[in-house]
């Protein structure tokens, strides 16, 4: 019950504390309260806890984080043969997390 689930806002109705929206959780659509995310719009992503959207996911920072993680990798692999070797060994072993 404590786990937040991310989904995409596909429809909004009502206002203020009565503002609700249809959210698509990877195929399952549920009606949830948008009372706590007054700025959210159709097409945005939110994390939902027990029927209430609590956070709007910030797409820009999601992409920044990913880009940063990926860039670090590439740079490290280019610059540090040890890292590259370790990575290759892992890949060859075929074990994934």
Partner 1 sequence: MKYLDEFRDPEVALRLIDEINELASRRWVLMEVCGGQTHSIIRNGIDRLLPDSVEMVHGPGCPVCVTPLDTIDKALAIAARDDVIFCSFGDMLRVPGSDEDLFQVKGGGGDIRVVYSPTDALQIARENPDEEVVFFGIGFETTAPANAMAVYQAKQEGLENFSMLVSHVLVPPAMRAILDSPTNRVQAFLAAGHVCSVMGYEEYFAIAQEYGTPIVVTGFEPLDLLSGIKAAITQLEEGRATVENAYQRAVRREGNVPAKQMIADVFTTTDRNWRGIGPIPASGWELSERYRDFDAAARFPIGDIDTKESPLCHAGEVLQGTRKPDECPAFGKECTPRTPLGALMVSSEGACAAYYQYGRFAKAASS
Per-residue binding string, partner 1, 21-40, x by CB under 8 A, is -----x------x-xxxx--
The gap from C-alpha 4 to its chain's centroid, in whole angstroms, comes to: 11
In the chain, % helix, strand, coil (3-state, to 5) comes to 40, 30, 30
Which residues of the shown chain bind partner 1 in the complex (CB under 8 A)? 1-4, 6-8, 17, 26, 33, 35-38, 45, 47, 49-52, 54-55, 57-59, 61-62, 64-66, 69-70, 72-73, 76-77, 83, 86-87, 90-91, 96-97
């Amino acid at each position: 019950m404590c786990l937040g689930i991310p989904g995409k806002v596909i429809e909004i109705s009502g206002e203020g504390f009565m503002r609700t929206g249809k959210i698509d959780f990877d195929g399952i659509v549920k009606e949830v309260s948008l009372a706590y995310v007054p700025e959210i719009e159709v097409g945005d992503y939110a994390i939902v806890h027990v029927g209430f959207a609590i956070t709007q996911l910030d797409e820009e920072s999601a992409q920044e984080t990913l880009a940063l993680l990926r860039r670090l990798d590439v740079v490290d692999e280019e610059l540090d043969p040890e890292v590259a070797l370790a990575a290759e060994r892992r890949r060859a072993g075929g074990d994934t997390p």
